[in-house]
Structure 1
């Protein structure tokens, strides 16, 4: 059984605009990818004292936005990919698209569209409960994708023995 695919961004909002600092997404077999994103200069505040981000870490350990976007597009092409709907993932994807001058090869939809029999509030409560039960940090994109995969398993949308 093909697993639904999920996407989550980590982000910074201390610069002139909201921008992604990391991304995590799942593959159709339930495996999870995670990548730190190197910030573009225009994403960062001009005054280094105003920056809330250790941009040196991201420059040393991050991948260029164009490379992240290319890999994400290859892995998620032609799919409807789901986000938890709690953070501005659509806005962060748009920032990445604008930066590389391309459109995503996939559609991003809120997880409630996948589990349409559940209200957003109920789904958010279940998601938060699962995060607490599994002691996952919700600010870490990889944890959020893992939690979404667990919800998909609970809903019978994945094989119980698949990765995730």
Structure 2
């Protein structure tokens, strides 16, 4: 009996190590708007949710996000790419944390700490563009190491007019 338990454990561990991709998570799916994400960091997945899909089309909406830090965040940078039909059409980057200037409450957190945020987010845009597209988001720290990475798929068929 104990040998079979050990074999099952070994097979599970081998399967986990053989897996090269994280699953695609559904953030929300309503009549005209669908949002999915998949971690592109091969070592770590994270949790992300939105209260209601329809809230995303408003200026500010509530989210929940959680991750276990694998690296310190003394400095934090975000890089976003808008990808349509496999081509990057827009790139945006910003410094989120740096000594003496932090835009986020978790700046300064250490490796091994659990980050959890629940609250409002403002995108800074009036409406989400219609169509099917991907947003690639990568957060890196002062050592240029990936803190979190995701590919977000948006399918928006909302008519704003």
Q: TM-score, normalised by structure 1?
A: 0.26
- Larger CA Rg, structure 1 vs 2: 2
Q: TM-score, normalised by structure 2?
A: 0.26
- Identify the structure with the greater helix proportion: 1
